Amino acid sequence: MWWPFSRKYPERSPEDVDCREYDYVVVGGGTAGCVVASRLSEDPNISVLVIERGPANDLWFSRIPIVSSNILRSDGGATSWNCEPMAHCGGRKTLFFRAEVLGGGSRINSMVYTRGSPADYDSFVHAAVALGFPIISDANAPDAPLDGVCQLDSTVNASNQRVSTMDAFLSREIALKRKNNLDVCTNAILSKIVFSDPKESGQPRANKVSFKYTDSKKEDLFIAKVRREVIVCSGAIWSPQPLMLSGIGPKAHLEQLSIPVVKDLPGVGSELVYKSLATLSLSSASKVTLTYSLDRSFGRTSRLGGTHQRILDRIASSPVTKGAIEFFKYLLFRTGLLSMPVQALTLFLRSSSLNKEGNRLESRVSKDSTKLPPQALVPDLEIMPLATSACDDLEEHYRVFDKIRVFSSLATLLQPKSRGTVRLASSKPHDRPKIDFGILSNP
């Protein structure tokens, strides 16, 4: 849906960039990848190639907060698959979502913009001090209590439009301005980082990348030469995959798949931290829950079925009128349902500060408390209220929750001790990696 006079995002196809040479290749134009590519390409003498699995999908609609946060929309840039059966959860599988679009998670997430707790940053600082770096005092350090409810900041601009890292760092304007030194190649996946022969160069050095179309029916293989570095930014789940396909990872696993080992690095794909969520959903008599209002106002009305009750319900809530009003409210004033973030509030707390029953805050500490160990100054629980269903089983979602008005509360473990793994399902880049979240695996 392009306004006739505006210029399109300058996406490159794999053919456009085939056999070219770049200073840096950024694998994954997601949240981090857009920032990295933007910063590197600020210098016009440095050439950068971004290889992104998804499209740019640079549409006006994709900036409407509530619409772009709907990860169930097939055209919204989110993809999902089930993890491996979890040994410590009775073999249960859970559905999880990834972004597959330029801007990555920042195009589809809930836009929550939260600082971590100071003690979390302090532990980074201590690690940095141990490595010999000096401490730089942070003038922005907040003095908020450690336990409490807070209103969240969102990644929206003054016009209540989503601001992804694509918008902030690699927008159409920036990409067009830097077209001489920056190529953004979309709908392409990295298949391998090619290393120089260590016999010739001492250490293996990344000197080429090979990539394919994301569409697995197209079999052509393309290459780009690398003068300086390959920077892998394809996310927590998808970064281990290209590394392992290139021979960097746990030796035994690579050998199982007959992948020649460049470097035996057992940590690749082995320390997956998953903040598991326990969801409590309550049906509500209110007509203002988000899923209900959205579905009826902006689509999927065909799912309503044909019962009289549903037809009456639909007429009573006048979805077309309601939808039109909300749309014009947003278009003209940037207010209303469409301007809302999907999550506006949260409660951070430390389980050690609760009473025995776990239902009341008992002790408060000031963050200046020096007697407590650093971990005691970091919240380990977050409870997020949502005006939607948060069911991780899509079949159940459509069968039950999609049809009722529902509020949910998501309790999240912020400091899980369990660790999971990302392993290759095969040596083919198009095959999704196998994810074991390892939930409850820590005794």
Ligand X SMILES: Cc1cc2nc3c(=O)[nH]c(=O)nc-3n(C[C@H](O)[C@H](O)[C@H](O)COP(=O)(O)OP(=O)(O)OC[C@H]3O[C@@H](n4cnc5c(N)ncnc54)[C@H](O)[C@@H]3O)c2cc1C
Binding positions for ligand X, rule: CB under 6 A: 27-33, 51-54, 71, 97-101, 104-106, 108-112, 189-190, 233-236, 238, 242
Nearer residue to ligand X within complex by CB, 319 or 416: 416
DSSP sequence for 238-284: HSHHHHHHTTEE-HHHHHHTTPPPSEE-TTTTT-B----EEEEEEE-
Q: Which residue is nearest to ligand X (CB)?
A: 30
| Known binding positions | 101, 109-112
Least distance (Å) from ligand X to the CB of residue 265? 18
Determine the Cα–Cα distance for residues 166 and 54; give it in Å rounded to an integer: 13
- Is the distance from CB of 240 to CB of 433 less than 8 angstroms? yes
Closest CB to ligand X among residues 99, 259: 99
**Nearer to ligand X (CB atom), residue 313 or residue 382:** 382
Distance from C-alpha of 39 to C-alpha of 181, rounded to nearest angstrom: 12
- Binding region for FAD: 101, 109-112
Contact 256, 264 (CB under 8 A): no
Closest CB to ligand X among residues 215, 362: 215
What is the DSSP code string of 270-328? T-B----EEEEEEE-S-S--HHHHHHHHHS-GGGG-S-HHHHHHHHHT-HHHHHHHHHH
Sign of the CA dihedral 100, 55, 174, 69? negative
State the nearest-atom distance from the C-beta of 53 to ligand X, in Å: 4
Toward ligand X, which CB reaches closer, 44 or 116? Answer: 116
Q: Annotate 21-55 with DSSP letters as a single string.
A: EEEEEEE--SHHHHHHHHHHHTSTTS-EEEE-SS-
Shortest reach from residue 75's CB to ligand X, in Å: 15
* Smallest distance, ligand X to C-beta of residue 139, A: 22
CB of 109: closest distance to ligand X in angstroms? Answer: 3
Q: How far is the CB of 3 from ligand X (least distance, A)?
A: 25
Nearer to ligand X, 161 or 234 (CB): 234
Q: Are 52 and 31 in contact (CB under 8 A)?
A: no
Alpha-carbon distance of 329 to 320, in angstroms, equals 14
